[in-house]
Amino acid sequence: MIRNNRITGLVINYTPVEMSNLHIDPITVAAKAVVDATGHDASICNMVSRKTGKLELRGEKYMHAEVGEKGVIENTSEVYPGLFVAGMTVAAVYGLPRMGPIFGGMLLSGRKVAELIASKI
């Protein structure tokens, strides 16, 4: 959900309804902030990029644990007003090496995104 060029929530479609070709409205969830932590797919960021044209995803790169670990933590951020990235989604958005952040980087990225959101809202 986007209002005034800001993410204000999510629209959730569900597979059984789509598979049955039923015309049922999706579920909407309002939110002050949304975190895309969908990993390599960066699902929410890809949707925002496609629908707004205002978010560039560089795609994750080669495997390099040390650089990936550090980069994911450093680049955990707000990538579009109201949309934050954490974990491997960070690598997909910023073009960082993949598979680096195993546990430490993922936890520190999660903590950082929580702190960023808490300071914003």
pLDDT digits (tens, 9 = 90+) for 11-42: 987 777 777 887 778 889 999 999 999 999 99
Question: What's the number of domains the chain is made of?
Answer: 1
Instruction: Look at 12 and 56; give whichever has higher pLDDT.
Output: 56
Does residue 108 sit within a domain? Answer: yes
Q: Which CATH number belongs to the domain containing residue 107 in this structure? A: 3.50.50.60
Q: What is the pTM of this model?
A: 0.90
- pLDDT tens digits, 69-119: 899 999 999 999 999 999 999 999 999 998 765 678 889 999 999 999 999
Does residue 68 sit within a domain? Answer: yes
Does residue 39 sit within a domain? Answer: yes
CA-CA-CA-CA torsion sign (60, 18, 13, 107): negative
pLDDT at residue number 111: 97
Residue range(s) defining the domain that contains residue 77: 33-120
Rg over alpha carbons for the chain, rounded to the nearest Å, is 15
